[in-house]
A and B are shown apart, each in its own frame.
Chain A
Amino acid sequence: MRMKTRMISLCAIAGLTALSLAGCSEAAVSGNSSAASGSTSTSAAAASSENAVSAGSAAVSTVATSGGSSVSGVNQIPEGTEEASAENVDFSSFKIGEIESYVVNDGGWCQATHNSILSAMNDLGIPEDNLITLESIDDTDQASVQEAAEQLVDQGCNLIIGASTGYSSYLPEIAEKNPDVIFAQWGNKVDGLVGYEIRSYEGMFLAGYACELLSQDQNTELGYSASYNEFSVRTAINAYALGAKYANADAKVKVASADSWYDIDKETQCAQSLIDSGIKYMGMEASSPAIPETCEKNGAFVVGYHNDMSSLAPNAVLVSFEWNFAPIFKSIITRTAEKTATPDDFYYWGGDCSKLSDFADFVPEDVVQKVADLKSKLESGEVQVYAGELKDNQGNVLVQEGQVMSDEDIIQQNFFVDNVETSWTVQ
């Protein structure tokens, strides 16, 4: 459920205006506010080192084989397999279709996915013209989503990527009709679609750790300016809070919520309310530039999200969490071209996929070094993000002492950890 088109509201304005003016001569209509802003960094992370193994995948190798409502066989693809036999495949005629809920230069989610696809194509030598992008396909609009998918099939796409969770209810029907085409769907594993998701908690754990290290002298409370009470957002908040706790057992994270995927006003208010309550360092989950800009105006600091946001607020963005799907897409494309991909494939990768950008120059060197040290501990498995004993903010024990949370529970993220202060509740 990412972003919504604003077009219909334009029509509504037009309709209302015309109605109220019925009979008058002129109808003035205000413009469509299709917000398209932000940086346009083209290749998010082309140079990703192969064979990176994350902490989480070493601990747990099978995922989502039980508990899910209707998922049959799941073939989890281990990390770092994208280079398997890419040299032997001719990719020049490989076609990719991309369905996005908003525009690809949104400065946020869609841009991150789009750039990852372009980066993967570039690495494999697929011409850019072989990518067909359909934008602003709303999650709630079954007819448009299915039409988009079938149009892409008609164009001869070998692989169709659905970048919004809401598509997962409509794409299986089209996938079933077109067994020669691989459909990849962001989010948890759905029957008939290749699933892909990133261990975003790794990057956000490091980000929370860095913020707490920086803020300890002033205030142990950190902020989080969040969009919707949704699994990916909860993952980011919880990992950020756990990272902060790793730096300081007393660290707390206060959440302000916009209850919207893209709302400049509400996001500004969220950031401002956190700052007004004395918070100086915050994380964010939003696509608009509102939060970094509000922080910059108030001398506060923020961890960018989705993409490298440093250009939006160079004095406020400490570091950014970036969705780097490129290694995953490289693997999906290669396996599709080799005809080894199956709709049972599931990707849950961390490491370079769960990427942090470079820290800003004003972040002290010792903090950067400490984060780098913690990163290597995560990679070696010495530190586990979701290690016991772990409690939720209701006092329930989520993970017993000496145990680690299952991947399935990590993906669902049906909890807030105990040092998160939020009005949101989870079922």
Chain B
Amino acid sequence: MRKFRYEKRTDVSMARKILNPVFFVLLAFLFCALLLGVMGFSPFAVYGKMISTIFSLRGLTRSIEAGLPLMFTGLAVALGYRMNLNNIGADGQYALGAIFCVGVGLYGPPMPAVLRILVMFVAAMLGGALAALIAAVPRAMWNVSETILTMMLNYVFLNVLNYLMYGPWKELNQMVAQTREIDSSLWLPEIGNTGISLALLIAVAIAFLLWFLLKKTTWGYQMEVIRRSPRAAEYAGMSVKKNILITLCLSGAIAGLAGFAEVNGVLHRVQADLPNNAGYTGIVIAFLAYLNPLSTVLVAFLLGALQISAVAVQITGVPSQVATMIQGSIMLFVIAGEFFIRYRLVKVQKGEAA
């Protein structure tokens, strides 16, 4: 019997990086089609509904809206991983960013609308950065695991958010746990007549900026060196501590901007449980995008599209659990398929040890 062993690929072509996930998405569809068939649903009807929803103007707009916070959290997580820093706390950073942002919007001192929008933008970044700083300092100074710290801080900031939404900041005479709307002069405009918020352009701009910083600046180079070998970086005179602080805080600031995008761009208010696990989804997105900032935006959009299609396929009679299963399968297949980008299967020759 022939056996196989796997072998690390030395270089990976662009085509493989693109076609590999596409292949595994198709494989996931095939897998789900079999399951749907067994359960008595028509895969054609389900996938037809999915595709017709996503490729309509309304579906595209909604997918972008759903993907918007994911773009920011995905970028935040991707930036952290660029230096081997696991920022699991994008959820909490998003929450604190949103709190700071809406705080300025509703309770800040009087100022012109444009200025207030700018202050809200900065406040959201500060909130996110502050949430990350709490984890960054112990990580930089005493090498405490940032994975645990950022993750545990999520609970703290989500509870602060929910406390404010169910308590002091709750809209008066309403039942929903949310703040009142910010003044309409503070709303970000739409891009043309598309119904898509200008916040999308902010996400894209940040992605380009990060790409530029990582690829074209000394700082980006330093990050790469630190990622590969913190010791070598120290010998070369780079401050690892300083870079950890900067990277985690910047990562947090980007996650905090998800709050700005939602408050000024989409919801115009903050509600309980606002992050809705966007920080965790950001981990998946960053990974699927190979930590590339530009593809992160694209993958976040695709995940938004999956989320919207999970709503639409229920119209065909598929229960929500199955719709969620399709969504989960696609991600799982693509993530598992990543293996074949790094490795190839090789037939074991006669006489060779497996």
Residues of A within 8 A of B180 (CB): 69
Q: How far is the CB of A412 from chain B (nearest CB, A)?
A: 6
Give Cα distance in the complex from A258 to B218, angstroms: 50
Residue of A nearest to B170 (CB): A427
Q: Are B287 and A166 in contact (CB under 8 A)?
A: no
Q: Are B311 and A7 in contact (CB under 8 A)?
A: no
Q: Are A140 and B276 in contact (CB under 8 A)?
A: yes
Residues of A within 8 A of B304 (CB): 143
Residue of A nearest to B343 (CB): A23
Residues of B within 8 A of A8 (CB): 276-277, 280-281
Does residue B222 face the partner (Cβ distance < 8 Å to A)?
no
- Are A67 and B173 also in contact (CB < 8 A) when A12-B277, A136-B320 are? yes
Does residue B31 face the partner (Cβ distance < 8 Å to A)?
no
Contact of A230 (CB < 8 Å), options: B173, B177, B277, B315: B177
Give Cα distance in the complex from A14 to B285, angstroms: 11
Contact of A139 (CB < 8 Å), options: B63, B273, B287, B307: B273
Q: Are B335 and A18 in contact (CB under 8 A)?
A: yes
User: Which B residues between 162 and 188 are near A, CB-CB below 8 angstroms?
Assistant: 162, 166-168, 170-178, 180
User: Which B residues between 53 and 87 are near A, CB-CB below 8 angstroms?
Assistant: 53, 58-59, 62-63, 65-66
Give Cα distance in the complex from A344 to B262, angstroms: 30
Q: Are B170 and A144 in contact (CB under 8 A)?
A: no
Q: Are B311 and A144 in contact (CB under 8 A)?
A: yes
Q: Are A166 and B328 in contact (CB under 8 A)?
A: no
Q: Are B307 and A143 in contact (CB under 8 A)?
A: yes
Number of A residues contacting the other chain (C-beta, 8 Å)?
62
Q: How far is the CB of A5 from chain B (nearest CB, A)?
A: 7
Among A132, A148, A151, the one with the most B-chain Cβ atoms within 10 Å of its Cβ is A151
Q: Are A23 and B342 in contact (CB under 8 A)?
A: yes
Q: Are B284 and A11 in contact (CB under 8 A)?
A: yes
Contact of B314 (CB < 8 Å), options: A5, A14, A134, A411: A134
Give Cα distance in the complex from A15 to B335, angstroms: 7
Q: Are A143 and B173 in contact (CB under 8 A)?
A: no
- Are A151 and B328 also in contact (CB < 8 A) when A141-B276, A144-B66, A230-B175 are? no
Does residue B143 face the partner (Cβ distance < 8 Å to A)?
no
Q: How far is the CB of B307 from chain A (nearest CB, A)?
A: 6
Q: Are B175 and A188 in contact (CB under 8 A)?
A: yes
Among A26-34, A347-355, A383-391, the one that faces the other chain is: A26-34
Q: Are A168 and B276 in contact (CB under 8 A)?
A: no
Q: How far is the CB of B201 from chain A (nearest CB, A)?
A: 18
Does residue B308 face the partner (Cβ distance < 8 Å to A)?
yes
Among B12-20, B237-245, B264-272, the one that faces the other chain is: B264-272
Q: Are B172 and A69 in contact (CB under 8 A)?
A: yes
Residue of A nearest to B159 (CB): A259
Residues of A within 8 A of B310 (CB): 144
Give Cα distance in the complex from A187 to B178, angstroms: 14
Give Cα distance in the complex from A166 to B276, angstroms: 13
Residue of A nearest to B181 (CB): A169
Does residue A68 face the partner (Cβ distance < 8 Å to B)?
yes
Q: How far is the CB of B179 from chain A (nearest CB, A)?
A: 11
Does residue B263 face the partner (Cβ distance < 8 Å to A)?
no
Q: Are B167 and A231 in contact (CB under 8 A)?
A: no
Does residue A85 face the partner (Cβ distance < 8 Å to B)?
no
Does residue A37 face the partner (Cβ distance < 8 Å to B)?
no
Q: Are A12 and B281 in contact (CB under 8 A)?
A: yes
Q: How far is the CB of A227 from chain B (nearest CB, A)?
A: 11
Residues of B within 8 A of A136 (CB): 320-321, 324
B-facing mask of A367-402, CB < 8 A → 1, else 0? 000000000000000000000000000000000000
Does residue A60 face the partner (Cβ distance < 8 Å to B)?
no
Q: Are B331 and A143 in contact (CB under 8 A)?
A: no
Q: Are A135 and B284 in contact (CB under 8 A)?
A: no
User: Which A residues between 3 and 19 are near B, CB-CB below 8 angstroms?
Assistant: 4-5, 7-12, 14-16, 18-19
Residues of A within 8 A of B63 (CB): 143
Does residue A147 face the partner (Cβ distance < 8 Å to B)?
yes
Q: How far is the CB of B312 from chain A (nearest CB, A)?
A: 6
Residue of A nearest to B335 (CB): A18
- Are A228 and B328 also in contact (CB < 8 A) when A34-B321, A69-B173, A142-B267 are? no
Does residue A22 face the partner (Cβ distance < 8 Å to B)?
yes
Q: Are B167 and A427 in contact (CB under 8 A)?
A: yes
Does residue B224 face the partner (Cβ distance < 8 Å to A)?
no
Q: Are A15 and B284 in contact (CB under 8 A)?
A: yes
Does residue A422 face the partner (Cβ distance < 8 Å to B)?
no
Give Cα distance in the complex from A139 to B271, angstroms: 9
Contact of B311 (CB < 8 Å), options: A147, A187, A229: A147
Residue of A nearest to B288 (CB): A15
A-facing mask of B87-120, CB < 8 A → 1, else 0? 0000000000000000000000000000000000
Does residue A146 face the partner (Cβ distance < 8 Å to B)?
yes
Does residue B138 face the partner (Cβ distance < 8 Å to A)?
no
Q: How far is the CB of A164 from chain B (nearest CB, A)?
A: 9
Q: How far is the CB of A259 from chain B (nearest CB, A)?
A: 8
Residue of A nearest to B303 (CB): A11
Residues of B within 8 A of A412 (CB): 173, 175
Residues of B within 8 A of A228 (CB): 166, 177
Q: Are A5 and B324 in contact (CB under 8 A)?
A: yes
Give Cα distance in the complex from A273 to B338, angstroms: 48
What are the 5 tightest A-B residue pairs by CB atom distance, in nearest-first order? Answer: A12-B280, A15-B284, A135-B320, A8-B277, A143-B66
| 19 sampled A-B residue pairs with Cβ under 8 A | A1-B176, A1-B271, A1-B272, A8-B277, A15-B283, A16-B283, A18-B336, A32-B325, A69-B171, A134-B311, A134-B314, A137-B311, A140-B273, A140-B276, A143-B63, A151-B311, A229-B166, A412-B175, A427-B168
Given contact pairs A8-B281, A147-B312, a sample of 19 additional A-B residue pairs in the complex whose CB atoms are under 8 Å apart: A11-B331, A14-B335, A15-B283, A15-B284, A15-B335, A25-B339, A27-B336, A103-B319, A132-B315, A136-B321, A140-B271, A141-B66, A141-B276, A143-B63, A143-B65, A143-B304, A144-B66, A147-B311, A151-B53
Interface residues of B (CB under 8 A from A): 6, 53, 58-59, 62-63, 65-66, 162, 166-168, 170-178, 180, 266-267, 269, 271-274, 276-277, 280-281, 283-284, 287, 304, 307-308, 310-312, 314-315, 319-321, 324-325, 327-328, 331-332, 335-336, 338-339, 342-343
